[in-house]
C-alpha cells in the first residue's frame, strides 16, 4: 500500500501534515489524534481501513510535523484546518474520527461543516464540562494569586506543563470551551467508543455524549483506558467498519 505524506499551504497558515493511505477514489476517513499525539497514534486503525477506504491521518497544529502558528488557537481554528485540508485533498464528504482532543475538533467540525462530516466517530472524546468544575475555577483563582508572589503558582496538568509558548495558550483556550450545546446540534449521529477505565475523559462523559447526540450509539470497553482503541483494537475495528459500512 502506498503512503503519501503531505504538508500543504493554507489560507492562514500551513494545513495539517497528513499521512494519506488507501484507495484514492474510495470514501474518505479522517483521523484526528489526541493532545500531544500525532498521526502515528492511529497506525493500527489506518492499516485496518486502508484496503477499503482513503485514510487521512492528520498531525494537527503544534503536533507531529505540523508547526503551531505564532498565535494562540481555538477549537474553531482546528476545525477550519480540517476543512482546509479536506479541500486541498479534494474530499467533499468524509467519516471523521476523533480521539480525546481530536474528539473536540471532530464535534466542532461536524457542527461547523456538516456537509463535510458524513459520519462521526468519537473515541474517549474530550469537550464536555467535567464534574468538579467549581473546584477547578477556585484552583485557577488561587493559582493567579500565588503567581503574583512566586512567579509560578500551582502546578498545572501534565499537558500544560509540557506545553510552551503559543501551544500553552492554545491549551488554555481549548480546555475552557465546553461543547454540550454543539453536540446537541449534530445531525449525522455518532458512533461513541469509550474505555470504562478511562481516567482522563471518564465514562460518564460517554453517556452524556450519547444523550446529547441524536441517533448515536455507544460501546464501552469495560477494561480499557483512555486509549481504548489501542487496548481493544480488534473490537474497535469491527465496530468502526460496521458503522461506516452501514447506511
**Taking residues 39-60, what's their average pLDDT?**
95
Q: What is the mean pLDDT of residues 166-174?
A: 93
Which grid coordinates are listed for 41? 497514534
Q: What is the pLDDT of residues 139-162, one digit of tens each?
A: 444 344 434 544 444 344 576 576
Chain-centroid distance, C-alpha 103: 3
pLDDT score for 141: 46
- Reported as a pLDDT band with limits 50, 70 and 90, residue 165 is confident
pLDDT for the residue numbered 15:
75
* pLDDT mean over 1-9: 50
Query: For residue 2, what pLDDT is reported?
Result: 45
- Say whether pTM exceeds 0.85: yes
Taking residues 185-201, report their average pLDDT.
97
**Distance between CA atoms of 65 and 62, rounded to whole angstroms?**
8
Q: How many other C-beta atoms lie within 10 A of the C-beta of residue 246?
A: 8
Give me the pLDDT at residue 131, please: 83
**pLDDT at residue 153, rounded to an integer:** 40
Domains, the chain, with CATH or none: 4-129+178-245 (3.40.50.1820)
Predicted local distance difference test score (pLDDT) of residue 10: 45
What is the C-alpha to C-alpha distance for residues 243 and 247, in angstroms, rounded to an integer? 8
- Predicted confidence band at 52 (pLDDT cuts at 50, 70, 90)? very high
Question: Mind listing the pLDDT tens digit for each residue in 104-115?
Answer: 999 999 999 999
Element (H, E) at 108: helix 101-112
Residues 148, 227: Cα–Cα separation, whole Å: 38
With 0-12 CB in 10 A as exposed, 13-18 as middle and 19+ as buried, what is 178? middle
Residue 182 has pLDDT above 80, yes or no: yes
Amino acid at each position: 500500500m502506498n503512503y503519501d505524506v503531505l504538508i500543504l499551504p493554507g489560507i492562514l497558515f500551513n494545513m495539517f501534515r497528513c499521512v494519506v493511505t488507501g484507495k484514492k477514489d474510495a470514501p474518505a476517513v479522517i483521523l484526528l489524534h489526541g493532545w500531544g499525539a500525532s498521526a502515528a497514534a492511529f497506525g493500527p486503525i489506518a492499516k485496518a481501513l486502508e484496503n477499503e477506504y482513503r485514510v487521512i491521518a492528520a498531525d494537527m497544529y503544534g503536533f507531529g510535523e505540523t508547526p503551531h502558528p505564532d498565535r494562540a488557537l481555538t477549537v474553531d481554528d482546528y476545525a477550519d484546518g480540517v476543512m482546509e485540508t479536506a479541500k486541498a485533498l479534494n474530499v467533499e464528504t468524509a467519516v471523521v474520527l476523533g480521539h480525546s482532543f481530536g474528539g473536540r475538533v471532530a464535534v466542532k467540525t461536524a457542527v461547523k461543516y456538516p456537509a463535510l462530516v458524513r459520519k462521526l466517530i468519537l473515541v474517549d472524546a474530550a469537550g464536555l464540562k467535567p464534574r468538579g468544575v467549581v473546584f477547578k475555577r477556585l484552583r485557577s483563582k488561587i493559582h493567579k494569586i500565588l503567581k503574583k508572589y512566586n512567579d509560578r503558582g500551582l502546578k498545572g496538568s501534565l499537558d500544560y506543563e509540557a506545553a510552551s509558548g503559543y501551544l500553552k495558550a492554545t491549551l488554555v483556550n481549548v480546555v475552557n470551551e465546553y461543547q454540550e450545546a454543539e453536540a446537541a446540534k449534530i445531525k449525522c449521529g455518532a458512533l461513541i467508543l469509550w474505555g470504562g477505565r478511562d481516567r482522563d475523559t471518564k465514562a460518564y462523559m460517554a453517556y452524556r455524549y450519547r444523550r446529547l447526540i441524536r441517533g448515536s450509539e455507544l460501546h464501552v470497553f469495560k477494561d480499557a483506558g483512555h486509549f481504548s482503541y489501542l487496548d481493544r483494537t480488534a473490537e474497535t475495528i469491527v465496530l468502526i467498519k460496521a458503522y461506516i459500512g452501514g447506511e
